[in-house]
Structure 1
Amino acid sequence: MSWAEGLALVKRGAESEIRLGDFMGLRAIYKLRVRKAYMDPALDSRLRAQRTLKEAKVLSLARERGVRVPRLYAVFPSMGLIVMEYVEGPTLKEVVGSPGWQALAEDAGLQLGLLHAAGIVHGDSTTSNMVVTGEGVTLIDFGLAEFSSRLEDRAVDVHLLKEAVTSTHPGHAGEFMEAFMRGYSRALGEAAAGEVEARAREVEMRGRYVAARRSVWQAEAGEGGD
């Protein structure tokens, strides 16, 4: 019997396959890291096992430190499979702009701040990876998470979120980030949060500089081709 038998496919990406089903009577997400056909099978198996274990450790530590994340039900490293709690609800992306969304933005800041305080960075901190439930905001999808307390890594997390909100809700981005930073400061402390916010602005400026230079290079290349 296949592990996926009876499980509904939710999402299939380049790195993993997400399915929904039951685990010991509980609604659960089954996340399988897919095999890479182009990679040496032994190396592929080792990498998938390592990444699966790391994600499981991230979830366990985050929950232990009070971050709202899915409960971990089971881990099968040799299969590249994690079974975790299914968190039901709309994403924060879908809720921004509706009544009371500012409090949820602040809670998102609190959760990411607690995650950073635990020595973990998310790696894909967008409003699509934040689910709204009756308890507040739950962080999901830790496939790119790393154990890190580096200022730069924390700043990139905050910058990614700001970019996502600016792209999807430009009219609310400023208010969103103000509320977010209030929650973030509660978790990390005013001084540390201020350092992260300042570095996030530097990350943003570096990105703008690279984008501007790329436009110049492309224009110059176009002129040279005439």
Structure 2
Amino acid sequence: MVFGLNLLPQDNKFFTLLKDVSRLSNKSVHLLKDLAIEENRDTAFKLAREIEIAKHTAKDVTYEITEMLCRTLVTPFDHEDIHRISRGLYKTLKICEKTQERLVAFQLRPFHNDLFKLATNMVSASDVVHDLVTDLKILKDSKAVHDKCALIHNIESDTDKLFNQLTIDLYEHEQDFKKILIRKEVYGLMEGVVDRHRDLANVILEVVLKHS
């Protein structure tokens, strides 16, 4: 036995940890949706803090996954793919944290229902990916995964159109250029959350195709 390496499969442990990160990521996206429409400043601070806690917790779990990958020879699927999924989920949490910082710091309130629309798409994409990660151990039917990937691609396409329309509306109705820049940055961050979930769905599809 190679010193420091575990030669036995760690299927359940890896799947459990990936589900933990996915749960935290999904929770963070839902919290961000609540924050985007919250009018009470104290409640907004509480939601923002919960997003920060979720991100820091996920960081520890992601580190544990990375450490296990370094010490485990036999894994349920490719080391690189496990790493891509865990890092992708963690990066989603980082984007959520950055978005909440902007929302709280600049006290952004809905403008033509913009934040709610984008946040709704974020939640839809996150829910689909969370289902995929939760069922990763039993996913055998590539068609079912294809269908969910197609759903996320539709959400991503709709988000792109929404981003463009909201940007047009913003330039038409907002006169303060600083406010335009700040809000457009938040639009981009929220769109990035959807893009991140699209990428994760594609990785999961690759994994299923490799092992189906």
> What is the TM-score normalised by the length of structure 2?
0.28
Structure with a larger share of its residues in strand: 1
Higher relative contact order (CA closer than 8 Å, sequence separation 6+): 2
Which has a greater percent of helix?
2
